[in-house]
Amino acid sequence: MPMSIDIILTKYNEQLAIRNLSKETIRGYNADIDLFVNWITNKRNGPVVMESITRDEVHVYLASKKDDWAPVTMNRKIVSISLLFEYAYKNHYVPRNVMEDYPHVKVLEKERDSLTADEIKDILDKIMHPTIKVFAELLAHTGLRISEGIHLTLNDIKFNEGVLQVVNGKGGKDRTIPMSDALMSKLQYYIRNIRPKTKSNYFFALKKTGSLSQQYVNASIRKAANEAGINKKVTAHVFRHALASNLINNNVNVTVVQKILGHASLRTTQIYVHTDQDSMKQAVNTLQY
């Protein structure tokens, strides 16, 4: 019996929950799919049976957004819609997968903004909120994704072992990251003197909410970067990029950096390597012919 896309989407979300994906990942998939569902529902002026959706309709939808979305965003939408159709096909809710082998948009690689060690220090010096300051120190020393840092619990920081544990990181993977002596000292000071008394189990907690928000963290970091006179697009994720770049520039093996960042592919780690003009000039000046 033909099923509406809304019913299949409900079943799809149940499957995502079983896979133990992060709330952010599931929310992202649903936001992308909801845009498409709203578009095709309005186009047809009523409920949509999923098996009646054609590849051409999806193509028309995506083409209508090509001026609104950057290539990276477009590819994310394609992935979200493709995963839904793949699920529906594999579970026999639709007779064919209309998104099979749907091509992605070519993304032109561009040099990423990075931060030097001095710039990171300048930003940290300008962060006035004590909890955000220590959280930013954590990102700078470990390269954690902002969501991974926010979801650290009191049990995830192993002071006796000198490590922290990321549980259910990107892709549902766990990993263990060693802490530098400097970071351990800062986190111990935070626990003793800064963290408010709260029932929250999150390591980083505010008295009012019991947690941190990504928006608040990024806003604080941007403000500090502006006050430090750094003319770059600085977010919490740039700290992750900076850690990778600075470690590699300090001759740390790229495979070690890969493990710290939790990348499944070495190729992913390599795009974080930042080559600045001074380094390139120094390299060509080594030529003696």
Mean pLDDT of the chain: 85
Spatial distance between the Cα atoms of 168 and 117, rounded to a whole number of angstroms? 29
More confident position, 190 or 258? 190
pLDDT at residue 272, rounded to an integer: 54
Asked which of 45, 71, 90 is the last residue of a domain, the reply is: 90
One domain for residues 74 and 152:
no
Cα-trace Rg, the chain = 23
Which residues 6+ apart lie within 8 Å of 143 measured at CB?
239, 240, 243, 244, 260, 261
Asked which of 90, 107, 140 is the last residue of a domain, the reply is: 90
pLDDT at 244 over 50: yes
- Joined together, the tokens standing for residue 238 give 């740039």
Spatial distance between the Cα atoms of 99 and 102, rounded to a whole number of angstroms? 5
One domain for residues 24 and 121:
no
In this prediction, residues 13-37 reach a mean pLDDT of 85
What CATH number does the domain containing 158 carry? 1.10.443.10
Question: With bands split at pLDDT 50, 70 and 90, how would you rate the model's confidence at 247?
Answer: confident
Q: Which of 25-34, 99-108, 278-287 has the lowest mean pLDDT?
A: 278-287
The domain in which residue 14 lies consists of 5-90
Q: What percent of the chain has pLDDT over 70?
A: 86
179 domain-assigned: yes
pLDDT at 26 over 80: yes
One domain for residues 202 and 257:
yes
Q: Which of 124-138, 153-167, 172-186 has the lowest mean pLDDT?
A: 172-186
pLDDT at residue 24, rounded to an integer: 77
Element (H, E) at 177: strand 175-178
Q: Which residues pair with 166 in a beta bridge?
A: 175
95 domain-assigned: no
One domain for residues 135 and 265:
yes
pLDDT at residue 198, rounded to an integer: 92
One domain for residues 145 and 185:
yes
pLDDT at residue 286, rounded to an integer: 57
Q: Which of 2-6, 172-176, 181-185, 213-217 has the lowest mean pLDDT?
A: 172-176
One domain for residues 68 and 162:
no
What CATH number does the domain containing 74 carry? 1.10.150
One domain for residues 135 and 33:
no
One domain for residues 258 and 156:
yes
Question: With bands split at pLDDT 50, 70 and 90, how would you rate the model's confidence at 169?
Answer: confident
Residue with tokens 């947690």: 211
Domain count, the chain: 2
One domain for residues 123 and 233:
yes
One domain for residues 125 and 85:
no
One domain for residues 193 and 255:
yes
One domain for residues 9 and 132:
no
Q: What percent of the chain has pLDDT over 90?
A: 47
Question: pLDDT for 84-132, tens place per residue?
Answer: 999 999 999 999 999 999 999 887 655 556 788 889 899 999 999 999 9
pLDDT at residue 276, rounded to an integer: 47
Rank 195-199, 231-235, 269-273, 283-287 by mean pLDDT and report only the highest.
195-199
Phi, psi of 72 (to 5 degrees): -65, -40
Which one-letter DSSP state was computed for residue 50?
G
In this prediction, residues 215-244 reach a mean pLDDT of 88
Asked which of 55, 73, 90 is the last residue of a domain, the reply is: 90
pLDDT at residue 285, rounded to an integer: 63
pLDDT at 150 over 90: yes
In this prediction, residues 190-198 reach a mean pLDDT of 94
Tell me the CB-side half-sphere exposure of residue 249, using CA atoms within 13 A: 18
